[in-house]
A = this chain, B = another copy of it.
Amino acid sequence: MLMNEPRAQALMEEQQFAALVATAPENVTYTSGYWAMSQWIRRGPQAYAVHPAAGHGAPCIIAATGAMDLVADQDPPVKEIHRYGYFVIEVDPEATLDERDARVHELSNTEDEGDPVAALVNVLRARGLDRERIGIDEYGIPPPYLAKLREALPKTVFVPAWEVFRQIRAIKTPEEVRRLRASAQIAEKSIAAALTVARADVTERDLAVAFHETTIREGALPVLACIGTGPRSALPNAQPTDRRLVPGDVIRFDVGGRYRHYRADIARIATLGEPSAKVKRYHHAIRAGMMRAIEAMKPGARCADIFNIAMETARKEGLPHYQRNHVGHGIGLDGYDPPNLTPTSKEVLEEGMVLCVETPYYELGFAGLQVEDTVAVGKDGPISLMATSSELRVV
Chain A interfacial positions (CB closer than 8 Å to B): 24, 26, 37-38, 41-44, 66-67, 69-70, 73, 85-92, 94-98, 101, 104-105, 138-140, 142-144, 146, 160, 162, 205, 209, 212-213, 216-217, 219, 221-224, 231, 234-239, 321, 323-325, 334-336, 361-366
Q: Which of B67, B143, B335 contacts A143 (CB 8 A)?
A: B143
Q: Is the CB of A88 within 8 A of B325?
A: yes
Q: Is the CB of B213 within 8 A of A69?
A: no
Q: Is the CB of A41 within 8 A of B223?
A: yes
Q: Is the CB of B323 within 8 A of A362?
A: no
List residues of chain B with CB within 8 A of the CB of A221: 212, 222
Q: Is the CB of A364 within 8 A of B144?
A: no
Residue of A85, A162, A216 with most chain B CB atoms under a 10 A cut-off: A216
Q: Within the assembled complex, what's the spacing in Å between the Cα atoms of A95 and B160?
A: 49
Q: Is the CB of A66 within 8 A of B216?
A: no
List residues of chain B with CB within 8 A of the CB of A223: 41
Query: This chain: how many copies in the complex?
Result: 2
Q: Is the CB of A335 within 8 A of B37?
A: no
Q: Is the CB of B70 within 8 A of A234?
A: no
Q: Is the CB of A101 within 8 A of B69?
A: no
Residue of A143, A217, A224, A365 with most chain B CB atoms under a 10 A cut-off: A365
* Known A-B contacts A143-B146, A231-B101; A365 and B95 likewise in contact (beta carbons under 8 Å): yes
User: Shortest beta-carbon distance, A140 to chain B, in Å?
Assistant: 8
The 10 closest A-B pairs by CB, nearest first: A95-B365, A92-B365, A69-B235, A92-B366, A90-B363, A101-B364, A88-B323, A212-B216, A89-B362, A91-B364
List residues of chain B with CB within 8 A of the CB of A85: 325
Q: Is the CB of A364 within 8 A of B142?
A: no
Please name the residue on chain B nearest to A138 by beta carbon.
B143
Q: Is the CB of B361 within 8 A of A90?
A: yes
Please name the residue on chain B nearest to A222 by beta carbon.
B221
Q: Within the assembled complex, what's the spacing in Å between the Cα atoms of A73 and B239?
A: 9
Q: Is the CB of A334 within 8 A of B216?
A: no
